[in-house]
Every structure is written in structure tokens, then in C-alpha cells.
């Protein structure tokens, strides 16, 4: 509900589509854990966030850093790390204990403050005082989330070096965080788990269609195909919607709206190629009122016509060498 806003009135088909998205995102890791990058539009971000959450929730073990036998949240761990770093400057033969850290952190709290840091210090100090003489030592912690008994026992056996075993977690003192993550995943996979890595994502800004809305294959005027006749490409750009003002006078006075202009996007994403200075020049001339839409579209249309001519010439040059590239242009899928 927090991600999608679903409630008791939500149609089951909408929920089913979410499940399908999760299967699609995590499918590449069914055979083995592997890093995945999902290309999405910003509107698809909720699916990625849910997939990352599911990947974590299905793991057998969680791995965190810790400093004592009690469990602390991220903000509290930062304070424990600070206390340990400062107090470790003592002579080597003096053991840093939880009670010492409690005294140190209590001294860092500004009297009368009630902000988030003060509240976190209070909770950390309480736990440290309860731990008393227990040594404050950095370690990595394996948390039993969904592990089978056999997997948990195998993990205990696999942890090398000094360790402390508790009912629902294992503390390891001689492993790095990265080594612990790798070990936890290996044990999980060996015992029937997936060991999912949280999927990553890259977010795409989609070009606006030439008619001002989304590009659509059912609306030829909204897009330019690489196989369009160069003259058709020219005509489509000339007929495109722009971010210009109602009149030339108003354009000169107020400047154009390049950020809302499909023609400017052609310059930025394609026609300027690697010449960022050219794209910047077009933008600044537009918003500064120097560039009017008629001349701008004419320039863009000519550049598009030239681009299509050159692209199709190169395509024809390689037509006889497709066997070397294992590409079949007769395939509708490859043409798309």
C-alpha cells in the first residue's frame, strides 16, 4: 500500500501486474545471483523499489556491522563507531567497554536538546549501560532471517576465526563486511536459497514525440524512423510542435521554452552529436529570444535529412556483409 496505494477496492488485475513485474526483474537471478541493471522510466521506479525490498526479504541472512552483543539501528551504529574510534586511542592494554562508550556519548549530548541526534544518543547510552563491562569491539553480524536450521548450522561452521554464536545471529570478528556478504550468499545458495542481489536501475528520460505527446508507432508524425525517407524526415521536423511563443515579437521579448520543445530535444539528443557547445548555443539562443522557431526548425530539418541520408548510405554499404554479423534484416524483430 505504501508503494502503490493499493487498498481493499483495488482490482486484482492491478496487483497481478505488479507480481509479473517482480518476476520479470528477478528472473535473471534464478540460476545464480548476479548483478542486474534494469532500464526504466521514472514512472517505473516503484517496481524497482519493491523488487529490491523482495530481494532483501527473501534472503536467508542479513549482514550488518555491530559493536556489541545487542542490536542497534543504523544511526545508533554510527554513534557506536564514533565512540569506539575515539576510545581506541587509549593505551593498547586498556579494553574499551560498553560502559566507557556510554559515558563518552553521554558527554556528547547537549543538555536540553531533543533533536534526532539527542534521542539517538539517549537510546545508545541506555543499551551501552545495560551491557556494562562487555567489550566494545567491531564485528560483522549474520542475522538469521529466513534460514533453515541446516543453513544456519552450516554458516556457523563456515565462519573462520573468532566468533560468537547466539540464538538468531552470529558475530564474526575476523571477517570484513564484503567477505561476510559473500559467505552468507554462498551458504544460502548451497542450501536452496536464491541469494538475490538487490537489482539496480538506470532511469531514462524519453524524448517527447514531434507532435508534443508520447511517440507512438500508430502516429507516424510523432516520430522519425531510421528507415524513413530523408525527405519525410525533413517534413516531419518542419511540422513538429515547438516550445515557441505565440508571436515572433513575444518570442524575442520572453524567449522560447526550450525545455518544452521537441525540436530542441532533437538537437540535444541527436543532431548536435557530440558537440555539446552547439546544443548549448541552440538552447541559449532560444531562451534568450535570439532564435525563432521557423529558422530553428529549418536548421533541424536539414540536419535530420542529412543524418538519415548518411545513415541509410552506411546501412546499404553493410548490407552485403550481414552474414559476418549474424543479422537478418528480413526478421521483423531485427527491423524493430
Cβ atoms 334, 319 nearer than 8 A? no
Alpha-carbon distance of 313 to 325, in angstroms, equals 18
Mean pLDDT value across residues 234-242? 96
Q: What is the DSSP annotation of 295-326?
A: HHHHHHHHHHHHHHHHHHHHHHHHGGGHHHHT
pLDDT at 248: 95
Is residue 324's pLDDT more than 80?
no
Q: What residues does 216 pair with on adjacent strands? A: 219
Is residue 200's pLDDT more than 50?
yes
Cβ atoms 200, 37 nearer than 8 A? yes
**Residue % of the chain over a pLDDT of 70:** 97
Q: What is the DSSP annotation of 76-93?
A: HHHHHHHHHHHHTTS-TT
Query: Strand 163-165's sheet: what is its strand order?
Result: 61-66, 139-144, 169-172, 163-165
* Helical ranges in the chain per DSSP H: 12-26, 45-57, 74-87, 98-108, 116-131, 149-158, 177-190, 230-238, 248-254, 262-266, 276-287, 293-318, 322-325, 332-335
Which stretch of 134-143, 159-168, 318-327 has the lowest confidence by average pLDDT?
A: 318-327
Mean pLDDT value across residues 33-40? 93
Is residue 43's pLDDT more than 60?
yes
Q: Which of these, 150, 161, 156, lies nearest to 190 by C-alpha position?
A: 150
DSSP state at residue 269:
I
> 37 vs 4, 64, 232, 240, 331, CA distance in Å?
22, 24, 36, 34, 27
Is residue 30's pLDDT more than 90?
yes
What is the pTM (predicted TM-score) of this model? 0.68
- Strand, coil or helix: 205: coil
What digits encode the pLDDT tens for the residues 221-236? Answer: 999 999 999 999 999 9
Residue ranges covered by each domain of the chain: 220-335
pLDDT band at 95 (very low <50, low <70, confident <90, very high): very high
pLDDT at 329: 60
DSSP state at residue 119:
H
pLDDT band at 308 (very low <50, low <70, confident <90, very high): very high
Which stretch of 54-63, 88-97, 162-171 has the lowest confidence by average pLDDT?
A: 88-97
Mean pLDDT value across residues 111-139? 94
Is residue 71's pLDDT more than 90?
yes
pLDDT at 28: 95
pLDDT at 330: 63
pLDDT at 336: 41
Class of domain 220-335: mainly alpha
Is residue 1's pLDDT more than 90?
no
Alpha-carbon distance of 262 to 278, in angstroms, equals 17
- The whole-chain average pLDDT of the chain stands at 92
Nearest-10 Cα torsion for 116, 79, 139, 96: -140
Mean pLDDT value across residues 83-107? 92
**Residue % of the chain over a pLDDT of 90:** 79
> 124 vs 70, 90, 99, 137, 305, CA distance in Å?
10, 21, 11, 15, 67
Amino acid at each position: 500500500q505504501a508503494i502503490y496505494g493499493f487498498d481493499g477496492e483495488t482490482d486484482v488485475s492491478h496487483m497481478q501486474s505488479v507480481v509479473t513485474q517482480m518476476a520479470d526483474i528477478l528472473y535473471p537471478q534464478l540460476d545464480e545471483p548476479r548483478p542486474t541493471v534494469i532500464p526504466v522510466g521514472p514512472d517505473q521506479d516503484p517496481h524497482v523499489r519493491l523488487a529490491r525490498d523482495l530481494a532483501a526479504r527473501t534472503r536467508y541472512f542479513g549482514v550488518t556491522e555491530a559493536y556489541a552483543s545487542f542490536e542497534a539501528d543504523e544511526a545508533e551504529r554510527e554513534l557506536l563507531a564514533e565512540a569506539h574510534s575515539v576510545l581506541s586511542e587509549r593505551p593498547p592494554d586498556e579494553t574499551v567497554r560498553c560502559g566507557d562508550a556510554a559515558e563518552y556519548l553521554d558527554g556528547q549530548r547537549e543538555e536540553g536538546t531533543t533533536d534526532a541526534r539527542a534521542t539517538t544518543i539517549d537510546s545508545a547510552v541506555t543499551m551501552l549501560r545495560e551491557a556494562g563491562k562487555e567489550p566494545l569491539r567491531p564485528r560483522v553480524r549474520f542475522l538469521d532471517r529466513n534460514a533453515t536450521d541446516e543453513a544456519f548450522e552450516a554458516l556457523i561452521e563456515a565462519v573462520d576465526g573468532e566468533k560468537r554464536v547466539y540464538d538468531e545471529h552470529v558475530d564474526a570478528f575476523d571477517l570484513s563486511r564484503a567477505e561476510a556478504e559473500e559467505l552468507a550468499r554462498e551458504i544460502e545458495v548451497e542450501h536452496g536459497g536464491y541469494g538475490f542481489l538487490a537489482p539496480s536501475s538506470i532511469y531514462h528520460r524519453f524524448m517527447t514525440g514531434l507532435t508534443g505527446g508520447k511517440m507512438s508507432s500508430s502516429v507516424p508524425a510523432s516520430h522519425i524512423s531510421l528507415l524513413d525517407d530523408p525527405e519525410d524526415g525533413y517534413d516531419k521536423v518542419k511540422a513538429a510542435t515547438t516550445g515557441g511563443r505565440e508571436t515572433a515579437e513575444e518570442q524575442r521579448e520572453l524567449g522560447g521554452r526550450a525545455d518544452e520543445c521537441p525540436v530542441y530535444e532533437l538537437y540535444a539528443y541527436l543532431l548536435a552529436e557530440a558537440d555539446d557547445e552547439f546544443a548549448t548555443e541552440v538552447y541559449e539562443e532560444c531562451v534568450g529570444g535570439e532564435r525563432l522557431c521557423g529558422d530553428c526548425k529549418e536548421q533541424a530539418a536539414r540536419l535530420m535529412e542529412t543524418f538519415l541520408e548518411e545513415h541509410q548510405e552506411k546501412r546499404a554499404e553493410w548490407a552485403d556483409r550481414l552474414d559476418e554479423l549474424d543479422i537478418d534484416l528480413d526478421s521483423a524483430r531485427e527491423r524493430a
